[in-house]
Amino acid sequence: MIEKLCPRCGLRFSYIKRKRVGERYYYYAVHKDKGKITRTCYLGPVGGYEYVSRLHEDLQLQLFSIVERSWVDYVRSMVESRVELALENPSMLNVVAGEVREAARIISEAASRLKLELSMPELEVELKARVKPYKSEVFKAVELEHEHEGSSTLISLTLAERLCHYGVATKEFCAVVEKLKAE
């Protein structure tokens, strides 16, 4: 039997679910632990990958066809899922940080073999959001105000504190957290 490893997060899943949204169907990998659903990972649209699903009822096969479709998308979603996982489970942070470093090393080695100049402007990107303290009667948070979209996001003080504690937030962000805590 094939090991059921989720292409999104790399962990074992229990089964594939097909979900209908309007006219289209989408695949999800359902992860269960002791009979309870612990997470579902989005895999992709049914039939969106030039695969005739009616010929094959074997979902595992369809899953592999999804994975093989674009390895760059696959790498991206894999990395993003691992990072999400680490942010949800701080005990995973070190493991995932190691994986990211290793992946970066593989990619830069490949780039130098291909004689590509690897410039990564994303790494030097300036902060796109204004960071502000937010206080209501019942709740303190850090507000991220996106300058171009005109939208803002609230991050609760407890989550914000954890992001600073684990070193994944910027100095500016953590300065606002410290200020809020002191108030």
Q: Please, are residues 143 and 134 in contact by the beta-carbon 8 Å criterion?
A: yes
**Which residues ranging from 20 to 39 are in contact with Zn ion (CB under 5 A)?**
29
- Is residue 6 a contact point for Zn ion (CB under 5 A)? yes
Q: Which is nearer to Zn ion, 29 or 163 (CB)?
A: 29
Q: Which is nearer to Zn ion, 41 or 63 (CB)?
A: 41
**Helices 171-182 and 157-165: angle between axes, nearest 10 degrees:** 130
DSSP tag of 35: T
Let me know the angle formed at the C-alpha of 78 by 9 and 22, rounded to the nearest 5 degrees: 75
Q: Shortest distance, CB of residue 105 to Zn ion, whole angstroms?
A: 25
Q: Shortest distance, CB of residue 74 to Zn ion, whole angstroms?
A: 13
Q: Classify each residue of 71-85 as buried b or exposed e, where b means 16 or more C-beta atoms within 10 Å of its C-beta.
A: eeeeeebbeebbbeb
Q: Shortest distance, CB of residue 29 to Zn ion, whole angstroms?
A: 5
- Is residue 41 a contact point for Zn ion (CB under 5 A)? yes
- Is residue 8 a contact point for Zn ion (CB under 5 A)? yes
The residues that touch Zn ion, with contacts defined as CB under 5 A, are 6, 8-9, 29, 41
